[in-house]
Amino acid sequence: MEQGEVLRGRMIVRYLVLVSTSLLLYMGYEYARKIVAEGDVMVADAAYPLLLEKKLFGEPLTALMAKVRSQALSIVPTIVYSLHPAYFLLYLFYLAARDEKLYHAGQLSLVFSSITAILFYALHPTAPPWMVLPTIDRPRNPLLEAVEELTGAHIDPNPYAAFPSMHVAIAVIAAELLRGRYGAKAYIWPFLMSFSTIYTANHYLLDVMAGWLLGYLSYRTAASILEHYGANSKLNIKTPTSTLVIRG
Protein backbone atom coordinates (compact mmCIF):
# COMPACT_ATOMS: atom_id res chain seq x y z
CA MET A 1 0.00 0.00 0.00
CA GLU A 2 2.78 2.42 0.96
CA GLN A 3 4.73 1.54 -2.18
CA GLY A 4 1.67 2.32 -4.28
CA GLU A 5 1.25 5.69 -2.60
CA VAL A 6 4.92 6.52 -3.16
CA LEU A 7 4.61 5.59 -6.83
CA ARG A 8 1.45 7.67 -7.17
CA GLY A 9 3.18 10.60 -5.50
CA ARG A 10 6.13 10.36 -7.91
CA MET A 11 3.77 10.28 -10.87
CA ILE A 12 2.01 13.41 -9.64
CA VAL A 13 5.30 15.22 -9.12
CA ARG A 14 6.50 14.18 -12.58
CA TYR A 15 3.24 15.41 -14.13
CA LEU A 16 3.50 18.75 -12.36
CA VAL A 17 7.09 19.14 -13.57
CA LEU A 18 6.04 18.48 -17.18
CA VAL A 19 3.11 20.89 -16.98
CA SER A 20 5.24 23.59 -15.34
CA THR A 21 7.89 23.16 -18.04
CA SER A 22 5.30 23.73 -20.77
CA LEU A 23 4.00 26.86 -19.07
CA LEU A 24 7.47 28.27 -18.45
CA LEU A 25 8.56 27.64 -22.03
CA TYR A 26 5.55 29.40 -23.47
CA MET A 27 5.93 32.30 -21.03
CA GLY A 28 9.54 32.55 -22.19
CA TYR A 29 8.37 32.79 -25.79
CA GLU A 30 5.88 35.54 -24.94
CA TYR A 31 8.54 37.43 -22.96
CA ALA A 32 10.99 37.21 -25.87
CA ARG A 33 8.27 38.43 -28.23
CA LYS A 34 7.62 41.38 -25.93
CA ILE A 35 11.30 42.30 -25.93
CA VAL A 36 11.37 42.16 -29.73
CA ALA A 37 8.28 44.37 -29.94
CA GLU A 38 9.92 47.00 -27.73
CA GLY A 39 13.04 47.28 -29.88
CA ASP A 40 13.81 50.88 -30.82
CA VAL A 41 15.21 49.96 -34.24
CA MET A 42 12.18 47.97 -35.33
CA VAL A 43 10.64 48.91 -38.66
CA ALA A 44 7.60 46.95 -39.74
CA ASP A 45 7.36 45.88 -43.37
CA ALA A 46 4.44 44.30 -45.22
CA ALA A 47 5.42 44.92 -48.84
CA TYR A 48 5.98 41.31 -49.91
CA PRO A 49 2.81 39.72 -48.49
CA LEU A 50 0.67 42.59 -49.80
CA LEU A 51 2.27 42.36 -53.24
CA LEU A 52 1.63 38.61 -53.39
CA GLU A 53 -2.03 38.96 -52.47
CA LYS A 54 -2.61 41.81 -54.92
CA LYS A 55 -1.08 39.75 -57.73
CA LEU A 56 -3.16 36.69 -56.88
CA PHE A 57 -6.49 38.29 -55.92
CA GLY A 58 -6.34 41.89 -57.10
CA GLU A 59 -6.41 43.19 -53.53
CA PRO A 60 -5.47 41.97 -50.04
CA LEU A 61 -7.39 38.89 -48.89
CA THR A 62 -8.37 40.63 -45.68
CA ALA A 63 -9.96 43.44 -47.70
CA LEU A 64 -11.93 40.90 -49.75
CA MET A 65 -13.15 39.16 -46.61
CA ALA A 66 -14.04 42.47 -44.98
CA LYS A 67 -16.60 43.04 -47.72
CA VAL A 68 -18.64 40.06 -46.58
CA ARG A 69 -18.09 40.42 -42.85
CA SER A 70 -21.08 40.26 -40.55
CA GLN A 71 -21.56 39.93 -36.82
CA ALA A 72 -22.85 36.37 -37.23
CA LEU A 73 -20.11 35.32 -39.65
CA SER A 74 -17.40 36.71 -37.36
CA ILE A 75 -18.35 34.57 -34.36
CA VAL A 76 -16.48 31.40 -35.35
CA PRO A 77 -13.27 32.99 -36.73
CA THR A 78 -12.85 35.30 -33.72
CA ILE A 79 -13.39 32.46 -31.25
CA VAL A 80 -11.04 30.13 -33.12
CA TYR A 81 -8.34 32.80 -33.21
CA SER A 82 -8.76 33.50 -29.49
CA LEU A 83 -8.33 29.86 -28.48
CA HIS A 84 -4.60 30.09 -29.23
CA PRO A 85 -2.51 29.03 -27.32
CA ALA A 86 -4.79 27.76 -24.54
CA TYR A 87 -6.09 24.75 -26.47
CA PHE A 88 -2.56 23.57 -27.34
CA LEU A 89 -1.24 23.94 -23.80
CA LEU A 90 -4.26 22.07 -22.43
CA TYR A 91 -3.65 19.28 -24.95
CA LEU A 92 0.00 19.10 -23.84
CA PHE A 93 -1.18 18.82 -20.23
CA TYR A 94 -3.43 15.93 -21.28
CA LEU A 95 -0.59 14.21 -23.11
CA ALA A 96 1.69 14.65 -20.10
CA ALA A 97 -0.69 12.40 -18.19
CA ARG A 98 -1.60 9.96 -20.96
CA ASP A 99 1.21 9.77 -23.52
CA GLU A 100 4.63 11.19 -22.66
CA LYS A 101 6.11 10.31 -26.06
CA LEU A 102 3.61 12.55 -27.83
CA TYR A 103 3.96 15.14 -25.07
CA HIS A 104 7.70 15.44 -25.66
CA ALA A 105 7.16 15.61 -29.42
CA GLY A 106 4.69 18.46 -28.98
CA GLN A 107 6.85 20.23 -26.44
CA LEU A 108 9.98 20.04 -28.57
CA SER A 109 8.01 21.15 -31.63
CA LEU A 110 6.84 24.18 -29.67
CA VAL A 111 10.43 25.03 -28.74
CA PHE A 112 11.68 24.82 -32.34
CA SER A 113 8.78 26.82 -33.78
CA SER A 114 9.01 29.49 -31.07
CA ILE A 115 12.74 30.06 -31.53
CA THR A 116 12.37 30.27 -35.31
CA ALA A 117 9.42 32.67 -35.06
CA ILE A 118 11.24 34.97 -32.63
CA LEU A 119 14.21 35.18 -35.00
CA PHE A 120 11.92 36.21 -37.86
CA TYR A 121 10.09 38.73 -35.66
CA ALA A 122 13.42 40.28 -34.67
CA LEU A 123 15.11 40.27 -38.09
CA HIS A 124 12.14 41.03 -40.32
CA PRO A 125 9.13 42.32 -38.36
CA THR A 126 5.95 42.40 -40.42
CA ALA A 127 2.98 44.57 -39.51
CA PRO A 128 -0.39 42.77 -39.75
CA PRO A 129 -3.17 43.83 -42.17
CA TRP A 130 -5.21 45.65 -39.51
CA MET A 131 -2.22 47.90 -38.87
CA VAL A 132 -1.17 48.48 -42.50
CA LEU A 133 -4.48 48.84 -44.31
CA PRO A 134 -6.18 52.11 -43.27
CA THR A 135 -9.71 50.95 -44.07
CA ILE A 136 -9.42 47.56 -42.35
CA ASP A 137 -9.83 46.83 -38.67
CA ARG A 138 -10.12 43.63 -36.71
CA PRO A 139 -13.67 42.40 -36.09
CA ARG A 140 -15.03 42.64 -32.57
CA ASN A 141 -13.96 39.67 -30.45
CA PRO A 142 -16.52 38.96 -27.68
CA LEU A 143 -14.48 36.09 -26.19
CA LEU A 144 -11.36 38.22 -25.86
CA GLU A 145 -13.39 41.07 -24.43
CA ALA A 146 -14.89 38.72 -21.84
CA VAL A 147 -11.44 37.49 -20.80
CA GLU A 148 -10.19 41.09 -20.52
CA GLU A 149 -13.22 42.00 -18.43
CA LEU A 150 -12.63 39.02 -16.17
CA THR A 151 -8.88 39.51 -15.73
CA GLY A 152 -8.75 43.29 -15.92
CA ALA A 153 -5.84 43.00 -18.36
CA HIS A 154 -5.52 44.27 -21.92
CA ILE A 155 -4.74 41.32 -24.19
CA ASP A 156 -3.36 42.07 -27.62
CA PRO A 157 -0.86 40.17 -29.78
CA ASN A 158 2.45 41.72 -30.71
CA PRO A 159 1.55 43.90 -33.75
CA TYR A 160 4.86 43.05 -35.41
CA ALA A 161 4.58 39.27 -35.07
CA ALA A 162 2.84 38.62 -38.37
CA PHE A 163 5.40 36.46 -40.20
CA PRO A 164 5.31 33.54 -39.73
CA SER A 165 1.92 32.89 -38.12
CA MET A 166 2.44 31.03 -34.86
CA HIS A 167 -1.32 30.57 -34.62
CA VAL A 168 -1.11 28.43 -37.75
CA ALA A 169 2.19 26.75 -36.84
CA ILE A 170 0.85 25.56 -33.48
CA ALA A 171 -2.37 24.37 -35.13
CA VAL A 172 -0.32 22.31 -37.60
CA ILE A 173 1.72 20.80 -34.77
CA ALA A 174 -1.52 19.89 -32.98
CA ALA A 175 -2.80 18.26 -36.18
CA GLU A 176 0.40 16.24 -36.52
CA LEU A 177 0.03 15.02 -32.95
CA LEU A 178 -3.58 14.01 -33.61
CA ARG A 179 -3.04 12.57 -37.08
CA GLY A 180 -2.38 9.06 -35.80
CA ARG A 181 -5.85 8.96 -34.29
CA TYR A 182 -7.94 11.07 -36.65
CA GLY A 183 -6.04 10.84 -39.93
CA ALA A 184 -6.62 13.60 -42.48
CA LYS A 185 -9.51 14.98 -40.39
CA ALA A 186 -6.92 16.33 -37.95
CA TYR A 187 -6.01 18.99 -40.53
CA ILE A 188 -9.46 20.57 -40.39
CA TRP A 189 -8.28 22.57 -37.38
CA PRO A 190 -5.21 24.24 -39.00
CA PHE A 191 -7.30 25.05 -42.09
CA LEU A 192 -9.92 26.68 -39.85
CA MET A 193 -7.20 28.55 -37.96
CA SER A 194 -5.65 29.69 -41.25
CA PHE A 195 -8.95 31.15 -42.43
CA SER A 196 -9.53 32.80 -39.04
CA THR A 197 -6.15 34.54 -38.97
CA ILE A 198 -6.80 36.15 -42.36
CA TYR A 199 -10.47 36.90 -41.70
CA THR A 200 -9.64 38.70 -38.45
CA ALA A 201 -7.02 40.84 -40.27
CA ASN A 202 -4.17 39.47 -38.17
CA HIS A 203 -2.23 37.71 -40.95
CA TYR A 204 -1.51 37.58 -44.67
CA LEU A 205 -1.62 34.52 -46.89
CA LEU A 206 2.21 34.44 -46.87
CA ASP A 207 2.21 34.36 -43.05
CA VAL A 208 -0.21 31.44 -43.12
CA MET A 209 1.87 29.50 -45.66
CA ALA A 210 5.00 30.08 -43.59
CA GLY A 211 3.11 28.97 -40.48
CA TRP A 212 2.18 25.66 -42.13
CA LEU A 213 5.78 25.06 -43.15
CA LEU A 214 7.13 26.06 -39.74
CA GLY A 215 4.70 23.82 -37.87
CA TYR A 216 5.34 20.82 -40.11
CA LEU A 217 9.14 21.16 -40.06
CA SER A 218 9.19 21.75 -36.30
CA TYR A 219 7.21 18.57 -35.71
CA ARG A 220 9.27 16.51 -38.14
CA THR A 221 12.50 17.74 -36.55
CA ALA A 222 11.28 17.05 -33.02
CA ALA A 223 9.94 13.59 -33.93
CA SER A 224 13.15 12.66 -35.74
CA ILE A 225 15.31 13.70 -32.79
CA LEU A 226 13.18 11.79 -30.32
CA GLU A 227 13.14 8.76 -32.61
CA HIS A 228 16.91 8.87 -32.97
CA TYR A 229 17.66 9.16 -29.25
CA GLY A 230 14.89 6.83 -28.13
CA ALA A 231 17.01 3.79 -28.99
CA ASN A 232 14.93 1.34 -26.97
CA SER A 233 11.53 2.85 -27.66
CA LYS A 234 10.24 3.51 -31.16
CA LEU A 235 7.91 6.47 -31.46
CA ASN A 236 5.58 4.95 -34.03
CA ILE A 237 3.84 2.77 -31.45
CA LYS A 238 0.08 3.26 -31.22
CA THR A 239 -1.17 4.64 -27.93
CA PRO A 240 -4.65 5.26 -26.49
CA THR A 241 -4.51 8.87 -27.65
CA SER A 242 -2.62 8.98 -30.92
CA THR A 243 0.33 7.75 -32.95
CA LEU A 244 3.60 9.52 -33.47
CA VAL A 245 4.47 8.92 -37.11
CA ILE A 246 7.75 9.54 -38.86
CA ARG A 247 7.06 9.95 -42.52
CA GLY A 248 9.76 9.38 -45.10
* pLDDT tens profile 208-240: 999 999 999 999 999 999 988 764 444 443 333
Domain total for the chain? 1
* Cα separation, 142 vs 226, whole angstroms: 40
Question: What dihedral do alpha carbons 136, 85, 210, 67 form, nearest 10°?
Answer: -20
Mean pLDDT of the chain: 84
DSSP single-letter state for residue 240? S
Q: Residue 201 domain-assigned?
A: yes
For residue 235, tell me if it sits in a domain.
no
Q: Three-state SS for 6?
A: helix
Weakest-pLDDT range from 26-30, 72-76, 94-98, 146-150: 146-150
Q: Is residue 167 part of a domain?
A: yes
Quick check: is 237 in a domain? no
Say how far apart CA 121 and CA 166 lie, in whole Å: 11
The domain containing residue 21 runs over which residues?
2-229
> Does residue 90 sit within a domain?
yes
Distance CA 83, CA 174 (A): 13
Residue 223's alpha-carbon distances to 11, 110, 230, 238, in angstroms, are 24, 12, 10, 15
- 243 inside domain: no
Give the Cβ contact number of residue 238 at 10 Å.
11
Quick: pLDDT tens for 62-104. Answer: 999 988 888 888 889 999 998 998 999 999 999 999 999 999 9
With respect to residue 134, please indicate whether it lies within any of the assigned structural domains. yes
In a domain, 122, yes or no: yes
